[in-house]
Amino acid sequence: MRGCVFLEGMPPNGTLDQADAGSLPPICASEDTSRFRYTYRHGHRSAIRVARVVLETVALNHPNVRWFVFGDDDTLFFPENLVKTLSKYDDGLWYYIGTNSESFAQNKLFSYEMAFGGAGFAISYPLAKVLASVLDSCLVRYPHLYGSDSRIQACLAELGISLTHEPGFHQMDIRGSMLGFLTSHPLRPIVSLHHWEAMDSIFPKMEPKEAMKHLFQAVNIDSQRVVQQTVCYDRWFSWTISVSWGYAVQIFPHHLFLPDALRTLKTYQLWKKGGSGIYELYEVDTLALHPDPCRRPTVFFLHSLSSAADGIRSFYRRMTSENCTFDAFSPRKIEQIIVMSHKLDLDQQQLLAPRRQCCDVLPSAAENVMEIAIRECGLEELVHMH
């Protein structure tokens, strides 16, 4: 990978210390865009400059380029998963790959055919070359658009190209807790997260940056499995167990039908504060949280991991405490969950036609410890309530 951080101008000497300078990609100063009109009321002219980053990146003429990938300054990428996701596409064809917003209102306001820039998007090399050659002439026709991503989409539409939707990219137009979204991730490798610093920390009692570093302990061991959801049922206690590998395990104190267990718990809040009407609608199949915290699933967050020749062990512990009374049949008696798995390396067929894996609740010597094994499902195996 090669990259560039585009700024309005080069920072003054001494702005970055030596440690920062050694860890950052090169800094590129954007070209002057004052000749272009911008008429969107209360918008920012920088949208034109950011749109031209596509043209200016292509103009760097790096050799052996297959894809150009763009994101905002608050976009977090999962590099191995980005590469794996793009590998299923023919980079010799014209591809524009990204995702919409989770917010119905945002999609209606902008476009369902637009890759939102905060989620990041990818353009194949041959398409990017053509787009760069026509971009300036195209920008002249769209002074009324709000953002840089709207301008890119409009120019690609003029070239006859529509968006290829890839659910691993995430715009994250939400506030509050990401728990519901991350524990019900689509059956695709997670590629990006936007707005993560504006939300609650993904791990309780950690600062957002510290929490992301904690998640990346799992990413560095098994990137493609991170936050992939697996569901299994405990027959003895009639529990439904949802494993979001490398992040959290949820135990529902009752059986849920599998389609309900796969839905997104509504732990988040509206991105637009004080919004109502269409702003309360989302492009997500949600499941309402029970109003009583003691009736909600018990959540165990990633504590640590270990990797050996016989597989990977990830350990999850409760990091929150509610004042709930419980009996011997409550999942709140569990203190630690151990999940055993093998490193996931998806091949081309699995990327194109993914299938969720299965899990088993194993016998455990300790009453307060649950052990779970994740494995590939059998040919005709069904995951269902007993």
Q: CA neighbours within 13 Å on the CB side: how many for 382?
A: 6
CB neighbourhood size of 298 (10 A): 22
Q: Residue 19: its pLDDT value, please?
A: 57
Classify the phi-psi angles of 376: left when phi > 0, otherwise alpha if psi is within -120 to 50, otherwise beta.
beta
Distance CA 299, CA 68 (A): 38
Q: Residue 14: its pLDDT value, please?
A: 64
Q: Residue 293: its pLDDT value, please?
A: 85
Q: Which fold has domain 220-375?
A: Cation-dependent Mannose-6-phosphate Receptor; Chain A (2.70.130)
Percent of the chain with pLDDT over 70: 97
Task: Annotate 178-223 with three-state secondary structure.
Answer: CHHHHCCCCCCCCCEEECHHHCCCCCCCCCHHHHHHHHHHHHHHHH
Q: Residue 119: its pLDDT value, please?
A: 97
Contacts of 56 (CB under 8 A, 6+ apart): 6, 28, 30, 31
Q: Residue 16: its pLDDT value, please?
A: 67
What is the C-alpha R_g of the chain?
A: 23
Distance CA 220, CA 151 (A): 35
Q: Which residue has the tokens 């993914």?
A: 354
* Residue segments in the chain with a per-residue pLDDT below the cut of 70: 14-21, 274-276
Evaluate whether 299 touches 320 at the Cβ level (below 8 Å).
yes
Closest CA to 361 of 348, 350, 376, 374: 374
> Which pair of tokens denotes residue 214?
């904690």
Q: Residue 386: its pLDDT value, please?
A: 79
Closest CA to 71 of 116, 26, 101: 116
Closest CA to 28 of 63, 67, 70: 70
Distance CA 201, CA 37 (A): 40
Amino acid at 233: Y
Distance CA 269, CA 330 (A): 29
Distance CA 313, CA 303 (A): 11
* pTM across the whole model: 0.93
For residue 73, give the H/E element and its range.
Answer: none
Residue-by-residue DSSP string for 269-332: EESSTT--GGGG-BSS-EEPPPSSGGGSPEEEEEEEEEEETTEEEEEEE----------TTSGG
Give the domain ranges of the chain.
5-165, 220-375
Distance CA 206, CA 197 (A): 12
355-371 pLDDT, tens per residue? 999 999 999 888 899 99
Q: Residue 18: its pLDDT value, please?
A: 59
104-142 pLDDT, tens per residue? 889 898 999 999 999 999 999 999 999 999 999 999 999
The alpha-helical segments, DSSP class H, found in the chain are: 18-23, 46-51, 53-58, 79-86, 104-109, 125-139, 148-158, 179-182, 208-222, 258-261, 348-352
Q: CA neighbours within 13 Å on the CB side: how many for 216?
A: 14
- For helices 148-158 and 125-139, give the axis angle rounded to 10 degrees: 110
